[in-house]
Amino acid sequence: MKFARENSTRLPTRRRGFSEESRISKEIIAAALSRVAATLSRFITPSLLIVALTGCHSDSYNHYTAPEITGRVLAAGTHQPLANVHVLRGGPKGNFEPFGPPNGGKLLIQPAPVLTDADGRFLLESKSVFALFRSAGWWSAPVTYQRAGYESFSTNYTAANVVSNIFAGPPVVDAGDVLLKPEAK
């Protein structure tokens, strides 16, 4: 029996609380985490401030879906400027959409056509949207010119027609002189 008692293994007993070594280890870990948090806060706060201030530049989130279009409308036969010509984005019925005809809501919010001035000049403002991620932009800009007594004229401007496309501003298309033919009698 004596031999059996000497070779028997004792199971460790569970102690309540923590040993001195584990308490010291936990204090060391807590102190290290505290130092890491303090160091990170010293670097993260200024970094976030820099990102926020440089991210306030609104042009980076402003994506143009239609260019600014300028030009002049003239009578085809006389080359005289035509006033009050309706210039509108889209096809002859003003309903051009790249993915089909517009729904009722889009029809309600369509802008009024731009009218040419006494010199026949017009300016269609650019269209833009706010987006966090860069979108493809615009591929074409269909425009229709209409005036009583003249044939309606529709054309399509593409990126090849852009005369000014600086980073800080909208793409600009110069339509030049647009000639409207009188209606056949």
Model confidence pLDDT, tens digit, residues 19-50: 677 777 788 888 888 887 787 777 777 777 66
Q: Exposed, middle or buried by CB within 10 Å (0-12, 13-18, 19+), for 123? A: middle
116: three-class secondary structure by DSSP: coil
pLDDT, residue 94, reads 47
pLDDT, residue 81, reads 96
46 and 63 together in one domain: no
pLDDT, residue 180, reads 94
Domain count, the chain: 2
Contact between 167 and 152 under an 8 Å Cβ cutoff? The reply is no
47 and 123 together in one domain: no
Q: Which domain holds residue 32?
A: 17-56
User: Within 13 Å, how many C-alpha atoms sit on residue 116's CB side?
Assistant: 26
152 token code pair: 């309606």
Please state, in angstroms and rounded to a whole number, the distance separating the CA atoms of residues 87 and 146.
Answer: 7
34 and 64 together in one domain: no
175 and 88 together in one domain: yes
- Kindly give the parts of the chain with pLDDT less than 70: 1-19, 49-62, 91-109, 131-138, 165-168
Question: Residues 6 or more apart from 53 whose CB is under 8 A from it?
Answer: none
Please state, in angstroms and rounded to a whole number, the distance separating the CA atoms of residues 111 and 105.
Answer: 12
